[in-house]
Chains A and B, each alone.
Chain A
Amino acid sequence: QSVLTQPPSVSGAPGQRVTISCTGSSSNIGADFDVHWYQQLPGTAPKLLIYGNSNRPSGVPDRFSGSKSGTSASLAITGLQADDEADYYCQSYDNSLSGWVFGGGTKLTVL
């Protein structure tokens, strides 16, 4: 049971837009801790995708965007491409656990 809740899977056709939610609580996202997102392609290490709720590292396409509101955050991917198929994880800090926590991950399938 992850501290941050993500849907196990989402899917979309090429070119479409999908969103992945990340729901936390008053001890993490709701306590104003930043949310970060990672993309894990099959068989590889996770890679930073979004940091500080909505910032993209250099090299990440602007098709990826993040937002945060209240105790939740979202990752949006527009113009879906086949190579976007991956697992996506959200991450934040939890002050009741005094540590960094991850969502359970969401598998994105491009139909």
Chain B
Amino acid sequence: QVQLQESGPGLVKPSETLSLTCIVSGGSISSYHWTWIRQPPGKGLECMGNIYYSGNTNYNPSLKSRVTMSVDTSKNQFSLKLTSVTAADTAVYYCVRGQREGYFDPWGQGTLVTVSS
């Protein structure tokens, strides 16, 4: 059974770069697409973008200038970088496996990242 686990700093200063990694266990990363979804406190879900095991990416247009995703098939993990963060980027960040049919399953447990000085 595939499991995903996010890791990274829980606190990032404004204007700095948020970096998270998602380790995939119980299955190979070398198929499907892999997605980052975030949820600000008390708000809804936002798809930030996805990366295929080949390295091809699709980013949310609203974040495109600040987002970079990468994949390391040798470590079975993928990563997110978000630059120039502000308080509006405070959210729980989930890494998720995207299915060919367009749905997301499974989800990581999520990690709260707070942007504050």
Cβ B105 vs Cβ A33 within 8 A: no
Q: Please, which residues of chain B bring their CB within 8 A of the CB of A38?
A: 45, 104
Q: How large is the interface on B (under 10, 10 to 19, 20 to 34, 35 or more residues)?
A: 20 to 34
A99 to B63, CA, bound (A): 12
Contact A99 B101 (CB under 8 A): no
A48 in contact with B44 (CB, 8 Å): no
Query: Whose C-beta in chain B lies nearest to the C-beta of A37?
Result: B103
Q: Is the CB of B102 within 8 A of A100?
A: yes
From B11-19, B24-32, B106-114, the one touching the partner chain is B106-114
Instruction: Decide if B101 touches A52 in the complex (CB within 8 Å).
Output: yes
User: Which of A34, A52, A105 is close to B45, meaning CB atoms less than 8 Å apart?
Assistant: A105
Q: Is A91 an interface residue (CB 8 A)?
A: yes
CA distance A44 to B37 in the complex (A): 14
B59's closest neighbor in chain A, by CB? A99
A102 and B45 contact, CB distance less than 8 A: yes
> Which B residues are in CB contact (< 8 Å) with A89?
44-45
Q: Which residue of A lies closest to B108 (CB)?
A: A45
Q: Please name all residues of chain A whose beta carbon is closer than 8 Å to the beta carbon of B107 when the two chains form the complex.
A: 45-47
The reply on A104 being an interface residue by CB < 8 A is yes
Residues of A within 8 A of B110 (CB): 45
The answer, yes or no, to whether B46 is at the interface (CB within 8 Å) is: yes
Q: Is the CB of B44 within 8 A of A51?
A: no
- Whether, in the assembled complex, B54 has its beta carbon less than 8 Å from a beta carbon of chain A, the answer is no
Residue of A nearest to B109 (CB): A45
Across-interface contacts of A100 in B (CB, < 8 A): 35, 47, 98, 102, 104
Contact assessment for B44 and A99 in the assembled complex, using a CB-CB cutoff below 8 Å: no
CA A57 – CA B99 in complex, angstroms?
A: 13
B52 within 8 A of A: no
> Which A residues touch B104, using CB under 8 A?
36, 38, 46, 48, 91, 100
CB distance from A22 to the nearest CB of B (A): 12
Complex formed: what's the CA distance from A52 to B109 in Å? 23
**Closest Cβ neighbor of B110 among chain A residues:** A45
Within 8 A of B (CB), among A35-59: 36, 38, 44-48, 51-52, 57
